[in-house]
Amino acid sequence: MFITFEGGEGAGKSIQASLLKDFFISSGIDAILTREPGGTLFAEEIRKTLLTGEPEKIPPLTEALMYLAARADHWERRIKPALNAGKVVISDRFHDSSIVYQGFCKGVDINVLNTVYSSITNDNMPDRTYLIDIEPEIGLARSLARNNSETRFEKMDISFHRKVREAFLDLSRKYADRYLVLDGSLPISEVQKLIRADLSDFLRSS
Ligand code: TMP
């Protein structure tokens, strides 16, 4: 099973992904937690370049190709082998982030993004995607309070982050069969409970 978490800055994806992984492990199910951009040595190097510095450091198409390059390595060396070994793979962000950030919000041709994605993954899609939705103002404040150097996207205008939120919500309606939208302002344990309930429904019906 392949599960992804999506959302804007500071929505609380990472903590939910990590709690879910712990839940699988404590239930005796082999699961890995990974992230994008990143997840392999090479992709983590690309991550540093993508997430640090000024917003205009990398033009949109170049940026999109770097995310896809990182994704190709991540898919080939980490995700595909784990899925083939029967593990549950949980990824903190995946291709939907490219559609939203580089496609909808920075104007890169979505057909280009999807064509490259298809040849990386042979059109494999996540089984479930959890969108943690939060007011951009609240998310950004949380994210900036973390005090790390990965702030290239946080430095974008608030209007950019509002667009990100709307684009994710649009995507969740387009792919309603694999998406569940969760309110990121709820307590962490509440959100986690909803995710586990959804997964148990999903497993029962598949
Ligand atoms: P995060 O993992 O801390 O959320 O940071 C990742 C940042 O990278 C976030 O601002 C979203 C952005 N991103 C893209 O723009 N495109 C992508 O394809 C991915 C995976 C992330």
Model confidence at 146, pLDDT cuts 50, 70, 90, reads confident
Q: Is the CB of 101 under 6 A from ligand 1?
A: yes
Q: What is the pLDDT of residues 56-99, one digit of tens each?
A: 999 999 999 999 999 999 999 999 999 999 999 999 999 999 99
DSSP string, 79-148: IHHHHHTT-EEEEES-HHHIIIIIIITT---HHHHHHHHHHHHTT---SEEEEEE--HHHHHHHHHHT--
| Cα–Cα distance for residue pair 172/205, rounded to 1 Å | 20
Residue nearest to atom 10 of ligand 1 (CA): 153
Predicted TM-score (pTM) of the model is 0.98
| pLDDT tens-digit readout, 99-122 | 999 999 999 999 999 999 999 999
Atom of ligand 1 nearest to the CA of 36: 20
What average pLDDT does the structure give for the chain?
97
Residue 166 CA neighbour count, 13 Å, CB half: 8
pLDDT band at 148 (very low <50, low <70, confident <90, very high): confident
Look at ligand 1, atom 11, and give the residue with the nearest C-alpha: 97
| Whether the CB of 98 sits within 6 Å of ligand 1 | yes
Instruction: Tell me: pLDDT of 27 over 80.
Output: yes
Tell me the mean pLDDT in the region 129-140. 97
What are 6's strand-pairing partners? 131
| 96 touches ligand 1 (CB under 6 Å) | no
Q: Whose CA is nearest to atom 6 of ligand 1?
A: 37
pLDDT of residue 206: 85
How far is Cα of residue 179 from the mean position of the Cα atoms in its chain?
12
